[in-house]
Structure 1
Amino acid sequence: MSFTDLGLSADLVRTVAQQGYDSPTPIQTKAIPCVLSGQDLMAAAQTGTGKTAAFTLPLLQRLASSPIKTAPRSVRCLILTPTRELAAQVQDSVRQYSQGLSIGSAVVFGGVGMQPQVQNLRRGVDILVATPGRLLDHVRQGTVDLSRVEILVLDEADRMLDMGFIHDIRKVLAELPKQRQTLLFSATFSDDIRRLADGLLHKPQRVEVAARNSAADAIEQVVHPVDRVRKRELLSRLIHDNAWRQVLVFTRTKHGANRLATQLDSDGLPAAALHGNKSQTARTRALADFKQGRVRVLVATDIAARGLDIDQLPHVVNFELPTVAEDYVHRIGRTGRAGHDGEAVSLVCIDEQKLLRGIELVLRRQLPQLVVSGFEPDPTIRAEPLFNKPQGGRRGRPGGGSGTKAPNRQPGSSRSAGRREYRGA
């Protein structure tokens, strides 16, 4: 099947071909005709499946086929994303695919000044990509009008719920017309997502292209048991001995990410940290340096678990296992994308055995374990509570303690009731 068979215009098919794609992915095959028809859509797809193009291409065609002549242009399509990085990457896709079309777009997110965003909005845009917190800032200041939105896209809706954006989402919905097309994309059809969809979507078409919480088949996964105090030494050894040139490493805390990046630098491995306490400029620079090879190791908290689009990333390392089992799937989903092979390595100490069991329950299989020679765990070391003292200034919050109280979540649970809003996007 080709993109032409899905009903896309010749201009969009030509643009897609220029980007190097000649055949649609499964999510694109199922979602594009639905979006073109004007139906609401509830789609479950793991990262790396081409879901951004699955909604970007057909919504561009719908807007281009019925242009609004009045000036300035009002927002006709709103795309909500959970993180700044994902918002920026979705906007990049919109720009790439809208070449040659008379469609204007803009992106707004926190961590940067509002005035340049205000100027872009005043000039008028057809498509607005936004994180919820900064979008509401613009709504409150009267710098954006959402009353004429025709299409709403919630990208990575499960992540937005997990980050506590449900109240912000409801506030945004209050600004939108009730008559609109709504597209909801999520990695899973969890109970929370189903409840959200019930209140948002009208007779939606449901599309699912991957089993719930299944890791990509192309990803080779392995666990290296190791003592907690020797993890950094083992990580350096693996990178050096295997000549890994590009490695994304996950820690649980911001402080831990900073410390590990500094230690790896001292081991002769150029490294940078990426987390919520970094300014948007610093985060953008760190990611650019990593993509361009100036940085060999990018050490990140779970803020980077979704939305990072890194072509052919070969290696992901869980320096510390996530406290929420489903986050493991999102982390390793940074590799093995678009048909490329990938490797996910987890360094697991005695303290993390319960977390490992929770991950294996979600995956519905045991992960292979391989003890690296010279790094055999000391059998006399006893397990210690993971969060018995502050880490990075907060107690054990997944993603590095971004300034909210740690939720009481158990391994394998999807989210916590009563989570406070995360406004760091």
Structure 2
Amino acid sequence: MDEDEDTKLLEFHEMGLDDRILKAISKLGWSSPTPIQERSIPLALEGKDILAQARTGSGKTGAFVIPVIQKILASKQTATQQCVKAIILTPTKELCSQAYKNVLELTSSCSREVRCVDISPQVPLPTQRPMLSEKPDIVICTPSRLLAHIQAGNINVKQSLEMIVIDEADLVFSFGYEENVKAILSHMPKIYQAFLMSATLGEDVKALKKMVLHNAVILKLNETQLPEASKLTQYHIKCNESDKFALIYALLKLRLVRGKSIFFVNNVDRCYKLRLFLEQFGIPACVLNSELPVNSRCHIVSQFNDGLYDYIIASDETLLTDPQSKKTDSDNKRERKKDKEFNVSRGLDFQHVSNVINFDFPTTVDSYIHRVGRTARGDSKGTALSFVSIKEMSRLEEVEKHLIETSGQDATVFKPYQFKMEEIEGFKYRAKDAMQAVTRVAIREARLKEIKQELLNSQKLKSHFEDNPRDLQLLRHDKNLHTVKSHEHMKHVPEYLVPQTLQKLTGKGKQRNQHSGKKRGFKPKQSKHVKRMADPLRSFQHNPITDKKKTSMKTVKKKGKS
């Protein structure tokens, strides 16, 4: 059955939720439920099976975690023994870690009553047996991990299980979990309540629905796949493939990109190529891809959310989520070394992202939507900028056509970013020199060096940092790899490289230099009286709260150094 759109919508305090849950919601700063939460929570509390489709960042996790906790608290009043009541399945270990964190946040006022464990880490099964022997109320894991524990006799849900949640349901089959899910269902009780949460409702989700749900309510919200234009501004720059590196160098050094940003590339090699390039100009960035250990990946995302990093370079490896894609033998050999459960454009909860930059334009429409969905989440605004080469123009047109059709708007989706390429000729020369140092050997050495270091970090994360959580702050992932030579003069932008339009707006043009007789480096801070919209090289929209906080922190650090 489909849910009626005219159903009366409720606030959190009108849903009959336990005071301890309301207190946790208040701590999180959730003033009102999102549309998916408004509709799904009351239905879930009534005991209905739910298939919910809502875009990334719409609050799907809260939509299923809140009713699960509420029903467990209610059952505690009459329960005679401790047992596993709910299982939350996600397709990746990162999403398990994220869901676990969400559950801890929402049970912050009732953690003694509602216990939750995440058994997704790939450690020997006997290591996790003690955790499961205590019969936690909620178990979070991937389908394969749950099945392994069931077959090992570490968990028995035949009698006690009341609820099962499958998050990012549209990825479950594409990650190869179909047989695992079928096997798990054979070990479950005949009567249970189920939730399927998904960003799309494709054939895989329909097949999963038949396997898991019974007479489900289908919640398909009438919303666009991306935030409205008032929250998300989408730009594109048409450029040659060779100009992309000069462009990103100029945009970052001239501070035309401000705030926390994610740069998406299409493979792991491009991650390190871009990182080694930026490293030569004193621009720190960390890399996120499927080769890194899962503990390190989770730690990178956590520190990015805490404001420790400004830039993440992420590989969006669509082959890992598209089993129909044709793969060569060399592709398969490489893929064996990667974590097949990793896909950075889906599900991972990046917070306060001001900008998403498609350094390489995505290969599919879905990939574009999921990448850009990392910004403009909740009440914040964001910007998406895509570098588009001649070969990628057809993909841009395909994405724009799709977004116009699905949103029903007639206007152009992508605004041309007002950037005059001829004004950054000096940056091009520097970029060309830097690129000569980024050889295949340097990239290969960088990959090996970081993987070794992250493996070491991952071991530390498992043991030492459990006892010394403060030491986590000392572990950074954006340190220089030092596989290419870095020259000090490359880290500064001499004034003659700064476009004339910016020199005039910042008051650092030729006239001032004539009086002083000195050459001055470019200082990107603009005067307060200068309006951003007057700048022909318009800077991106960004989150003023995070930026102000981080700017002040950096200022304090710089003063301390001097």
Settle same-fold status: TM greater than 0.5. yes
**Could you give the per-residue CA deviations for residues 77-110 of structure 1, whole angstroms, max 9, x where no partner exists?**
1111122222111111111111333111011224
Q: 1:214 to 1:99 in 2, by over 3 A?
A: closer
Bigger mean CA deviation after superposition, 27-36 or 221-230: 221-230
**Could you give the per-residue CA deviations for residues 328-359 of structure 1, whole angstroms, max 9, x where no partner exists?**
11111111011110111111111212322332
Match of 2:202 in 1: 190
* Aligned mate of 1:13, from 19, 22, 40: 22
Match of 1:272 in 2: 286
Q: 1:228 to 1:172 in 2, by over 3 A?
A: farther
Match of 2:372 in 1: 332
**Could you give the per-residue CA deviations for residues 135-186 of structure 1, whole angstroms, max 9, x where no partner exists?**
3332333323232321111111113334343333323323322311110111
TM-score normalised per structure 1: 0.82
Match of 1:359 in 2: 399
2:326 corresponds to 1:315: no
**Aligned-residue identity in percent:** 29
* Aligned mate of 1:181, from 193, 200, 205: 193
Match of 1:104 in 2: 115
* Aligned mate of 1:304, from 339, 344, 353: 344
TM-score normalised per structure 2: 0.63
1-structure distance, mates of 2:275, 2:235: 23
Match of 2:235 in 1: 222
Match of 2:308 in 1: 294
2-structure distance, mates of 1:243, 1:141: 52
Query: How far apart are 1:116 and its partner, in Å?
Result: 4.7
Letter paired with 2:371:
R
2:390 corresponds to 1:350: yes
Letter paired with 2:37:
Q
Listed as ranges, the matches of 1:22-61 within 5 Å are 22-61=31-70
Listed as ranges, the matches of 1:251-262 within 5 Å are 251-262=265-276
Query: How far apart are 1:32 and its partner, in Å?
Result: 0.4
Query: How far apart are 1:216 and its partner, in Å?
Result: 4.8
3-state SS of the aligned residue for 1:136? helix
1-structure distance, mates of 2:286, 2:171: 24
Bigger mean CA deviation after superposition, 190-199 or 73-82: 190-199
Listed as ranges, the matches of 1:162-181 within 5 Å are 162-181=174-193
2:378 corresponds to 1:369: no
Q: 1:290 to 1:115 in 2, by over 3 A?
A: farther
Contact 1:152–1:181 (CA under 8 A) maintained in structure 2: yes
Query: How far apart are 1:76 and its partner, in Å?
Result: 1.5
Query: How far apart are 1:25 and its partner, in Å?
Result: 1.3
1-structure distance, mates of 2:296, 2:67: 34
Match of 1:93 in 2: 102
Q: 1:354 to 1:13 in 2, by over 3 A?
A: same
Letter paired with 1:238:
L
Bigger mean CA deviation after superposition, 193-202 or 59-68: 193-202
Query: How far apart are 1:206 and its partner, in Å?
Result: 1.6
Letter paired with 2:108:
Q
2:168 corresponds to 1:156: yes
Q: CA RMSD in A?
A: 2.4
Q: 1:253 to 1:167 in 2, by over 3 A?
A: farther
Q: 1:30 to 1:82 in 2, by over 3 A?
A: same
**Could you give the per-residue CA deviations for residues 383-421 of structure 1, whole angstroms, max 9, x where no partner exists?**
xxxxxxxxx99xxxxxxxxxxxxxxxxxxxxxxxxxxxx
Q: 1:372 to 1:178 in 2, by over 3 A?
A: farther
Match of 1:121 in 2: 132
The structure whose Rg is larger is 2
Query: How far apart are 1:204 and its partner, in Å?
Result: 1.0
Q: 1:308 to 1:239 in 2, by over 3 A?
A: farther
3-state SS of the aligned residue for 1:358? helix
Q: 1:141 to 1:199 in 2, by over 3 A?
A: closer
Bigger mean CA deviation after superposition, 195-204 or 220-229: 195-204
Contact 1:109–1:131 (CA under 8 A) maintained in structure 2: yes
Unmatched segments (≥5 aa) in structure 1: 377-391, 394-425
Match of 1:381 in 2: none
Listed as ranges, the matches of 1:56-67 within 5 Å are 56-67=65-76
2-structure distance, mates of 1:121, 1:375: 63
2-structure distance, mates of 1:267, 1:167: 49
Q: 1:220 to 1:91 in 2, by over 3 A?
A: same
Aligned length: 377
**Could you give the per-residue CA deviations for residues 189-244 of structure 1, whole angstroms, max 9, x where no partner exists?**
22432232133211111212243634554211111112112212212222232252
1-structure distance, mates of 2:145, 2:277: 35
Contact 2:47–2:193 (CA under 8 A) maintained in structure 1: yes
2-structure distance, mates of 1:253, 1:110: 25
Letter paired with 1:327:
S
Q: 1:230 to 1:122 in 2, by over 3 A?
A: farther
